[in-house]
Structure 1
Amino acid sequence: MEPISVITAVHHPLRRRIIDHLVLHDATQVGTLAHALDAQVGSISHHLRMLQKAGVVEQADDPTGDRRTSWWRLARRKFSWSEADFSSPADALLAREAQRANVRHQLELLQRWHRVSRDSEIEGFATDTLSWATPDELRDLGQRLNALLDEWRADIDRSDGQDRLPVFFFAHGFPTEV
């Protein structure tokens, strides 16, 4: 279970964009983050401190050795929680809103893709299925998908000289009525 402070820190819109940037680019200088995210350096620094306080990011050594610049990297990449994890009604409400914010973020990325997909050289994909599962079987599916994604990411050699674009993958598994 994630502490509510981590959940609320991660699901602020600009902080989510900072995390996404660090996932793709690893350690990054504050000015570079500000430029890439079209935000002020002071704003980025503030949000990095909020993420640091929640244990999501940490300061990194400047690869050039210049100690006048501030570099940051992710301290962790995965977050998991359920509204049911929280006995406090206020925390459960915050966790539920963070879940909604996460779904909105995912759908915004999907909608953006559909707006530009005709002009892309890379073809995306969609997948879905319907089946029967116990709660344990559904949990197992989620763990297997996460393991597969971790293995897939680890197999990508970003130093091989090939051009790559950022790729976003999301899937949801949940009980439903037919």
Structure 2
Amino acid sequence: MVTQSHRVTDSATLRALAHPLRQRILLELSVRRSLRAADLAEIVGEPANAISYHLRSLAKVGLLVEAPELARDSRDRVWTVAHPEGVYVPPGPDDDAPDIFAEQFLAWVRDMVMEKVPEDPRAIRGRYTGAALLTKDEGRQMFLEIAEVLERWREHGMDAAAANPQDPDRVFHYTGAFVGNRADPARHADSDDAAVPPTSTVT
């Protein structure tokens, strides 16, 4: 089930999220049930002591929590996200900057559209763009159906990674769903603007 992301507006949490490595840590944990500092260090290629520091910083502002039930002993620290529904940083009233998590996603989307995404033999690259004539309620229903499919596959990936954490073929994939339009008071109902034709690519 798709749920609304946790909104972050307080200054302490925003400061904690300002570091790009902490953003990466949250993204990696968002597609896994749990990780230890050593696991994350191997994934992101950073020293384990540095990862531990950033984990504690994220926990301090309530974005991560420990999972003692998964620990091997009293010294073992296992971490999981406090908000599995995701984290959203809304722009301020005078701020047009995107969600800080969206910045790297938008860079990936731009590279996908321009066909500049580096090849990874373990990953798939797929793109679909198109348009549909829908009512607002139909558009909402379509979006929720698409988002639920993506969420189901995210859960599947977490379960599979938990069952086989050393699987070399299971790699991070970005996914996204965007549905909408923009208000244009100059546009009339009898406009002959051409619709964007659907395109789909998978490699």
Q: Aligned pair 1:147/2:148, yes or no?
A: yes
Q: Residue 116 of structure 1 corresponds to which residue in structure 2?
A: 118
- Tell me: CA distance 1:114–1:171, structure 2 relative to 1, closer, same or farther (3 Å): farther
Q: Alignment partner of 1:73: what SS? A: strand
**How far 1:29 moved relative to its partner?**
1.6
Aligned length: 168
Q: TM-score w.r.t. structure 2 length? A: 0.61
Q: What pairs up with 1:24-39 in 2 under 5 angstroms?
A: 24-39=31-46
Contact 2:122 2:171 in 1 (8 A): no
Q: Residue 87 of structure 2 corresponds to which residue in structure 1?
A: 79
Contact 1:7 1:98 in 2 (8 A): no
Q: Deviations over 1:4-63 (max 9, x none)?
A: 138734464211210122133432222332343233444323332332233321012274
- Tell me: CA distance 1:151–1:21, structure 2 relative to 1, closer, same or farther (3 Å): closer
Q: What pairs up with 1:54-133 in 2 under 5 angstroms?
A: 54-61=61-68, 63=70, 65-77=72-84, 78-80=86-88, 82-83=90-91, 89=93, 93=95, 96-99=96-99, 101-110=100-109, 111=111, 114-117=116-119, 120=121, 122-133=123-134
Q: TM-score w.r.t. structure 1 length? A: 0.68
Q: Which of 177, 184, 194 is the aligned partner of 1:171? A: 177
- Tell me: CA distance 1:172–1:11, structure 2 relative to 1, closer, same or farther (3 Å): farther
Q: Which of 2, 5, 9 is the aligned partner of 1:4? A: 9
Greater Cα radius of gyration, structure 1 or 2: 2
Contact 1:59 1:71 in 2 (8 A): yes
Q: Determine which structure has the larger helix proportion and give its number.
A: 1
Percent of aligned positions with the same letter in both sequences? 22
Aligned CA RMSD, in angstroms, stands at 3.6
Relative CO higher for 1 or 2, CA cutoff 8 Å, sep ≥ 6?
A: 2
Q: Distance in 1 between matches of 2:134 and 2:17?
A: 30
* Unaligned runs of at least 5 residues, structure 2: 1-5, 185-192, 194-203
